[in-house]
């Protein structure tokens, strides 16, 4: 943030008794955290709903997929029982789906209907910081959601070792890698946001179904496997399987998974800073 | 004496049952007409994508999970392919999803954000016209998806009898039920976060209603 001079001769106390320059300085440095605090407060009335969904999803999915579907999948998959195989995929894919959902209508609505970004633009906050604040607030939410899923799965016996808790940050990273590029895109839309239907149906849904959540990617014909390779869900799921039951992944591929997710997250965040700025400063 | 252009409208309003007077103008057709105009001018692409959802499910589950499962016992006990087993359930699911999408997400959007209904209620239309019209549109969408998906099933060779056509009225009945309840529930919602509660109710139905595996895998008390 070099475009703003941040040094002052001394405190500049105005008639209101506040040092406005110091306040603005603080916002330029910590505004993204303040914005995340605002997001948190805005989500607070829906805490009960959020928790119900975050607790209900793992119970339903683990019971239906792991136990129901698992009982007709007789042979082991990737060397483990079906429940053990599918559970990490369910954790990652539900958290990533939430990330994708928050990257679409809620961001778009902030520009178009609720106009909270327009309100924030009237403060020293920069558009880039709003995008960072969104990512922080959503990241915390996703972390909690992943942690609840992990705890329920642990009680279910879906993952044997306590070390599998490492899936929680993995799921958060994968979800943020989905969230930030969508956030960047959402800020560019002007009309009703009908495009998100295409995003949901033609991007998120195929990733959920084809990208190795329910069966190994290798079970698909090769011309469909690329859906997994470009999907944050698949990269996250593979990492989660490594820590959950020790899926055999060569080290170079594990590095590729991490680099892909971090790259997508940071690239999306950078792009969102650009599109937020273009939308708000003109 | 000038020609009374309002006469037919007045006659229609007078013909309503009196107890519905405050709710219903007998003109749900106007809402339906608007619905078709919107489809033609704006969102036919969105409606078209909804058709892919069950097809994707069929491909992913039929091919991917089918490779893990092999065959399952059919209704008469003979083994059938997994894709053939899940296909009718996915048709029912797509009718449910199409109806819910129209009657929950779209209705919520029009109610809270674009305020389409506020505009409608400024005319002679009442809330019941709006509800009937919107439920009809949801049914229409359910019908489209059912026909489209049946076509895909036939093309994939998963339909073995002409009785499969009977799935279409069944799908419409499913759509009617879900659209009506979905719309009633939506009218209580305050924030988009609460829309997530709808899948929480639908998911167990989808997952536990023998969509993806025979109901016999459960202990007998919970089946049915």
pLDDT of residue B4: 80
**Per-domain residue ranges of chain A:** 53-67+77-281
**Number of CB pairs, chain A paired with chain B, less than 8 A apart:** 107
Instruction: Report strand pairing: B79-81 vs B71-73.
Output: antiparallel
Measured in residues, chain B has a length of 224
Q: Which of A53, A57, A201 sits opposite B52 (nearest CB)?
A: A201
Contact B47, B141 (CB under 8 A): yes
Residue of A59, A68, A93 to mutate for B, most B C-beta atoms under 10 A: A68
Helix B52-59 with B127-155: angle, nearest 10 deg:
40
pLDDT of residue A1: 42
Q: Does A218 touch chain B (CB under 8 A)?
A: no
Nearest chain B residue to A97 by CA distance is B196
Whole-number Å distance between alpha carbons of A67 and A76: 14
Each residue's pLDDT, cut to its tens digit, for chain A (282 residues) gives: 444 555 555 666 667 777 888 888 888 889 999 999 998 898 888 888 889 888 988 888 888 777 777 777 777 888 888 888 889 999 999 999 999 989 988 899 889 888 899 999 988 889 999 999 999 999 999 999 999 999 999 988 888 888 899 999 999 999 999 999 999 999 998 877 678 878 888 888 888 888 888 888 887 778 888 888 889 999 999 999 999 988 888 899 999 999 999 999 999 999 999 999 999 987
Radius of gyration of chain A (CA): 21
Do residue A64 and residue B207 have CB atoms under 8 angstroms apart? Answer: yes
The residue-averaged pLDDT of B40-62 equals 80
Q: Does A41 touch chain B (CB under 8 A)?
A: no
**ipTM for the whole complex:** 0.74
Across A128-142, B33-47, B130-144, B205-219, the highest mean pLDDT is recorded for: A128-142
pLDDT of residue B219: 62
Whole-number Å distance between alpha carbons of A4 and B96: 55
Do residue B68 and residue A77 have CB atoms under 8 angstroms apart? Answer: yes
Name residue, tokens 């369910």: A90
List CB contacts (< 8 A) between B63 and chain A.
219-221
CA-based nearest distance A90→chain B, Å? 14
Whole-number Å distance between alpha carbons of B16 and A46: 42
Do residue A209 and residue B59 have CB atoms under 8 angstroms apart? Answer: yes
List CB contacts (< 8 A) between A192 and chain B.
42, 114
State CA B202 to chain mean position distance: 12
pLDDT of residue A46: 86
Do residue A53 and residue B197 have CB atoms under 8 angstroms apart? Answer: yes
Q: Name every residue in B having a CB less than 8 A away from some CB of A.
A: 42-43, 45-46, 49-50, 52-53, 56-57, 59-61, 63-65, 67-69, 72, 113-114, 191-194, 196-197, 200, 203-204, 207-208, 212-214, 217-218
Do residue A46 and residue B194 have CB atoms under 8 angstroms apart? Answer: yes
Beta bridge partners of B79: B73
Residue of B38, B68, B213 to mutate for A, most A C-beta atoms under 10 A: B68
The residue-averaged pLDDT of B158-177 equals 87
Contact A95, A145 (CB under 8 A): yes
**Diameter of chain A by CA atoms?**
77
Burial tier of A78 (Cβ tally within 10 Å: 0-12, 13-18, 19+): middle
| A74-102: pLDDT as tens digits | 778 888 888 888 899 999 999 999 999 89
Q: Which of A192, A157, A195 shows the shortest CA–CA distance to A80?
A: A157
Nearest chain A residue to B82 by CA distance is A72
Residue of A98, A192, A201 to mutate for B, most B C-beta atoms under 10 A: A201
What are the residues whose beta carbons fall under 8 Å from the beta carbon of A271, sequence distance 6 or more?
Answer: A180, A181, A184
If one counts every other C-beta atom within 10 angstroms of the C-beta of residue A52, the result is 15
Whole-number Å distance between alpha carbons of A84 and B79: 27
Whole-number Å distance between alpha carbons of A230 and A239: 15
Q: Which of B40, B39, B9, B14 shows the shortest CA–CA distance to B27?
A: B9
Three-state SS for B51?
A: coil
Whole-number Å distance between alpha carbons of A107 and A271: 14
DSSP secondary structure string for all residues of B198-222:
HHHHHHHHHHHTTSSS-GGGS-GGG
Whole-number Å distance between alpha carbons of B108 and B114: 9
Whole-number Å distance between alpha carbons of A235 and B205: 30
Residue A169 parent element (H or E): helix A167-186
Q: Does A220 touch chain B (CB under 8 A)?
A: yes
Three-state SS for A190?
A: coil
Q: Which of A109, A206, A215 sits opposite B56 (nearest CB)?
A: A206
Three-state SS for B187?
A: coil
CA-based nearest distance B17→chain A, Å? 39
List CB contacts (< 8 A) between B39 and chain A.
none
Residue of B47, B193, B198 to mutate for A, most A C-beta atoms under 10 A: B193
What are the residues whose beta carbons fall under 8 Å from the beta carbon of B47, sequence distance 6 or more?
Answer: B39, B141, B144
% of chain B surpassing 70 pLDDT: 93
Torsion of CA B157, B161, B166, B168, to 10 degrees: 10
């Amino acid at each position: 943030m070099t475009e703003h001079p941040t040094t002052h001769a001394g405190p500049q106390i105005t008639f209101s008794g506040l040092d406005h320059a110091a306040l603005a300085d603080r916002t330029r440095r910590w505004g993204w955290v303040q914005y995340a605090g605002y997001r948190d407060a805005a989500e607070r009335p829906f805490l009960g709903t959020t928790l119900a969904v975050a607790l209900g999803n793992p119970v339903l999915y683990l019971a239906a997929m792991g136990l129901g579907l698992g009982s007709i999948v007789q042979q082991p998959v990737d060397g483990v029982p079906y429940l053990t195989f599918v559970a990490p995929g369910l954790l990652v894919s539900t958290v990533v789906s939430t990330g994708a959902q928050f990257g679409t209508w809620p961001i778009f609505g902030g520009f178009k209907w609720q106009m909270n970004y327009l309100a924030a633009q009237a403060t020293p906050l920069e558009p880039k910081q709003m995008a960072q604040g969104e990512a922080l607030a959503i990241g915390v939410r996703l972390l909690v959601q992943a942690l609840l899923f992990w705890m329920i799965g642990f009680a279910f016996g879906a993952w044997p070792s306590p070390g599998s808790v490492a899936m929680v940050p993995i799921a958060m990273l994968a979800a943020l890698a989905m969230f930030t590029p969508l956030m960047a895109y959402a800020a560019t839309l002007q009309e009703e946001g009908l495009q998100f239907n295409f995003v949901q149906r033609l991007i998120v849904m195929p990733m959920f179904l084809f990208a190795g959540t329910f069966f190994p990617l290798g079970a698909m014909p090769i011309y469909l496997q690329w859906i997994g390779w470009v999907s944050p869900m698949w990269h996250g799921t593979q990492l989660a399987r490594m820590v959950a039951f020790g899926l055999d992944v060569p080290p170079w591929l594990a590095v590729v998974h991490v680099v892909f997710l971090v790259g997508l997250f940071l690239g999306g965040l950078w792009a969102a800073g650009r599109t937020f700025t273009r939308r708000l400063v003109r | 004496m000038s020609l009374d252009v309002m006469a037919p409208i007045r006659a229609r309003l007078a013909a309503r049952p009196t107890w519905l007077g405050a709710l219903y103008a007998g003109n749900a057709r106007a809402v339906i007409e608007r619905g078709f105009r919107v489809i033609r001018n704006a969102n036919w692409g969105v409606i078209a994508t909804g058709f892919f959802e069950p097809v994707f499910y069929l491909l992913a589950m039929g091919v991917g999970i089918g490779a893990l499962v092999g065959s399952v016992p059919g209704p008469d006990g003979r083994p059938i392919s997994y894709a053939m087993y899940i296909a009718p359930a996915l048709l029912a699911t797509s009718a449910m999803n199409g109806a819910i999408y129209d009657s929950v997400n779209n209705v919520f959007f029009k109610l809270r954000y674009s305020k389409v209904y506020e505009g409608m209620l400024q005319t002679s239309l009442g809330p019941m016209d709006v509800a009937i019209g919107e439920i009809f549109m949801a049914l229409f969408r359910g019908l489209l998806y059912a026909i489209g998906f049946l076509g895909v099933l036939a093309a994939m060779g998963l339909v073995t009898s002409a009785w499969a056509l009977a799935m279409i009225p069944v799908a419409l009945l499913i759509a009617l039920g879900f659209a009506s309840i979905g719309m009633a529930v939506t009218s209580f919602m305050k924030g988009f976060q609460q829309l997530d509660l709808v899948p929480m109710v639908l998911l167990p139905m989808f997952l536990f209603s023998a969509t993806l595996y025979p109901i016999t895998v459960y202990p007998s008390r919970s089946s049915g």
